[in-house]
Structure 1
């Protein structure tokens, strides 16, 4: 009644080959994202008191992919000149970091659209710290625990 050795070998091979990809585990990308988040959440980083939608508050039945997609939507706004605050225009290093962060997050979960509740807001600092915790959790779940 069990699995034939050939079928077991094929299933094991498929699991090994697709495991990291299907989970979205890309250690290098996650390290880069966390590194950027560490930089932009340092004490004294300008422009982090601006208000953004609080899309990372996980609701029941919210998947990790959905949260990452929502975060990407918030960060994408920094590509549009009318969305960029004067503070960010005067601190181009922070703006560049937020754009790099958007590219990294988008590559983790290239979902085209997702729903987000933009009725509640938080500071950019709190949003980025919450995103950092989410990315660190994902990194640890991918099997890497040193940083």
Structure 2
């Protein structure tokens, strides 16, 4: 008996079961700071579980870490102002602006990399993403459904 290479349709019973099983398994989480975890979790929810590769999860962790840097630099600039005086009293741009710009560029670049695989198959991926989102809504905070 040969095994078929066909993908399971997300609107079939087998497809729905696979979605719930994927949600139950979760995804491997790369090592990251506790502050980056909420950003990572939000990124992971943007795609269906089966779409994530280990390399993409690492990129998502980098985006999350850079998002923490962006927030920290924005707070620092908001507290100190856009310009600060140097030792002679001259006003200079806040040094945090440079770090903020670099982190924003890295986030933009990595976000583009994360979307490369999805662009070609968007018609086939969207139903799976919608089905997984609906499964998450059904589960809500009640994890006992997965037991």
Instruction: Give the TM-score taking structure 2 as reference length.
Output: 0.31
The structure whose Rg is larger is 2
Instruction: Give the TM-score taking structure 1 as reference length.
Output: 0.31
Q: Which has the higher helix share?
A: 2
